[in-house]
């Protein structure tokens, strides 16, 4: 990679933390006011842990294309499983001419892993304690994320399918799988372990509405997330898929189109179903559009990006409803539907809409299905097993009093809005 491209990549990467800021605002705005500060500090801790653990451990496991790797010889093929760079990024990265490229790569992994690690916070909002958030994030950034990042972006077996077996390789340019699905499936695991918030379901298992406390911040978070997404997708396109810098404009246009159509689709669907557009669902539709558009951000046409976003938004409304009403899954931030659901659709959409010869289309669909099978069949059981073990060591759920008081008072000792927010149920009738 030329130094000009490296600088360009770094500039885009400097935008990418805005995606974390945006999602943090969305998560805390969709939760209750009594847990707002806890939600924000949880995000900050997840990012801090991502930075430290990634440099110490994760970057070595994530590796890079052409770098050392652990591989297994099976069926006459070398399956490249895990990066094999030393701890602390490896001396090779800090002592030779490729040091700058190595630092750019590590910075990208820190932001991407931080983003993936904070996705479950929206699902575990109002009941997930800070200590287990840190423990879960550390394990996620140290082992789970690097494994997947190596398979898809670091020259691992998923990116080498066409080399070893013919056909096509798995494609995920902007991280719909590596970041979003991995984060969304972690959210599902966390919600299974935590159970619903107290008062969310009646004794007849009917859901009650617990509306988000600040929809203004949620909608502002959507705009921040767009800027961060464009930065992150541009950087991954340049670093992992050698996109020509002039094509970055396509990434930016596709990102805003897929987000817009995701949001508009939700506005239309909720207008038809509920007679009024739903603001929080529309915000989730915006993010779902961004997520679904990630996988093919650099390769599909603007029209395809619009269709991808619109389908993601339309599916989202029904998926959120299905999880909440039918499966009794309490996901206040909609993290599972937005990140895992839209991400899965995005991985298929890239094979359906990318311009390619017709004989290449089905092999590409097959490669994407192998990726999806890997996320569902390996990543989900792995994440869930780890979380079940961690839950034994550091109980995830806050106690009954904490559920009632809110996470801010219980864990931080002070509320986010001490002077002007009143919880009516805190006052007993005299």
Partner 1 sequence: MKIIGFLLLLSGWIIVLVTFDLFTLFSLRAGFVASGIATEGVGLTLLTYGYFSERRRAK
| Interface contacts to partner 1, rule CB under 8 A | 74-77, 161, 164-167, 192, 195-196, 201, 203-205, 327-328, 362-363, 366, 369-370, 372-374, 376-378, 380-381, 384-385
Nearest to 12 by CA among 223, 192, 249: 249
Q: Nearer Cβ to partner 1, position 47 or 161?
A: 161
Nearer residue to partner 1 within complex by CB, 52 or 369: 369
Cβ-based neighbour number of residue 387 at 10 Å: 23
Cα 282–chain centre separation: 18
Residue 34, CA atoms < 13 Å, CB-side half-sphere: 18
- Closest distance between partner 1 and the C-beta of residue 90, in Å? 29
Q: Which is nearer to partner 1, 247 or 384 (CB)?
A: 384
In whole angstroms, the minimum distance from the beta carbon of 222 to partner 1 comes to 29
In which element (H, E) is residue 318 found? helix 302-321
| Residue 73 DSSP code | E
Cβ closer to partner 1: 62 or 161? 161
For the CB of residue 329, give the shortest distance to partner 1 in the complex, in Å.
Answer: 8
Of 198 and 247, nearer to partner 1 (C-beta) is: 198
Residue nearer to partner 1 on the CB measure, 166 or 355: 166
| Pair of tokens at residue 18 | 């805005």
**Which one, 201 or 417, has the nearer CB to partner 1?**
201
- Closest CB 382 distance from partner 1, rounded Å: 9
Q: Which whole-number Å values give the CA distances from 359 to 168, 321, 355, 421, in the listed order? A: 11, 38, 12, 61
The beta-carbon contacts of 71-76 under 8 Å, at least 24 apart in sequence, are none
Residue 74 or residue 209: which is nearer to partner 1 going by CB? 74
Strands (E), 55-144: 69-74, 77-83
Minimal distance in Å, beta carbon 230 to partner 1? Answer: 32
| Shortest Å distance, C-beta 412 to partner 1 | 29
Angle between helices 248-274 and 215-241 (to 10 degrees): 140
Q: In angstroms, what is the minimal distance from the CB of 381 to partner 1?
A: 5
Instruction: Name 424's Cβ contacts closer than 8 Å, sequence gap at least 6.
Output: none
Q: Are 364 and 170 in contact (CB under 8 A)?
A: no
Angle at 149 between CA 100 and CA 50, to 5 degrees: 70
SS3 77: strand
Write down the least CB distance from residue 205 to partner 1, Å. Answer: 6
DSSP lists the bridge partners of residue 79 as 72
């Amino acid at each position: 990679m030329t130094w000009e491209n490296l600088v360009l990549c770094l500039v885009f990467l400097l935008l990418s933390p805005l995606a974390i800021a945006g999602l943090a605002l969305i998560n805390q705005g969709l939760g209750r006011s009594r847990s707002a500060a806890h939600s924000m500090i949880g995000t900050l801790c997840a990012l801090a842990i991502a930075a430290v653990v990634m440099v110490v451990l994760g970057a070595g496991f994530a590796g890079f294309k052409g770098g050392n790797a652990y591989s297994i010889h099976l069926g006459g093929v070398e399956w490249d499983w895990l990066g094999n760079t030393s701890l602390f990024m490896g001396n090779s990265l800090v002592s030779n001419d490729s040091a700058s490229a190595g630092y750019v790569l590590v910075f990208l992994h820190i932001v991407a892993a931080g983003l993936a690690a904070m996705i479950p916070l929206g699902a575990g909002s109002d009941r997930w304690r800070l200590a287990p958030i840190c423990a879960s994030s550390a394990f996620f950034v140290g082992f789970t994320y690097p494994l997947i990042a190596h398979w898809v972006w670091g020259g691992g077996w998923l990116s080498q399918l066409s080399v070893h077996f013919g056909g096509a390789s798995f494609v995920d340019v902007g991280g719909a799988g590596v970041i979003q699905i991995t984060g969304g499936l972690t959210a599902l695991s966390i919600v299974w372990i935590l159970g619903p918030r107290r008062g969310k379901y009646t004794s007849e298992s009917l859901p009650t509405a617990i509306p988000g406390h600040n929809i203004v911040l949620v909608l502002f978070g959507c705009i921040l997330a767009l800027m961060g997404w464009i930065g992150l997708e541009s950087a991954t396109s340049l670093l992992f898929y050698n996109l020509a810098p002039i094509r970055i404009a396509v990434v930016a246009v596709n990102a805003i189109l897929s987000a817009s159509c995701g949001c508009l689709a939700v506005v239309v669907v909720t207008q038809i179903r509920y007679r009024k557009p739903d603001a929080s669902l529309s915000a989730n539709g915006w993010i779902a559009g961004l997520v679904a558009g990630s996988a093919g951000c650099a390769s599909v046409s603007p029209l395809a990006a619009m269709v991808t976003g619109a389908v993601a938004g339309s599916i989202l409304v029904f998926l959120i409803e299905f999880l909440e009403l039918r499966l009794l899954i309490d996901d206040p931030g909609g993290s599972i539907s937005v990140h895992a659901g839209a991400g899965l659709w995005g991985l298929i959409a890239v094979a359906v809409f990318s311009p390619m010869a017709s004989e290449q289309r089905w092999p590409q669909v097959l490669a994407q299905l192998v990726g999806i099978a890997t996320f569902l069949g390996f990543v989900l059981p792995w994440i869930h097993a780890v979380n079940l073990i961690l839950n034994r060591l550091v109980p995830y759920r806050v106690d009954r009093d904490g559920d009632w008081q809110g996470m801010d008072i219980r864990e931080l000792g002070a509320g986010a809005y001490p002077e002007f927010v009143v919880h009516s149920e805190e006052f007993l009738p005299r």
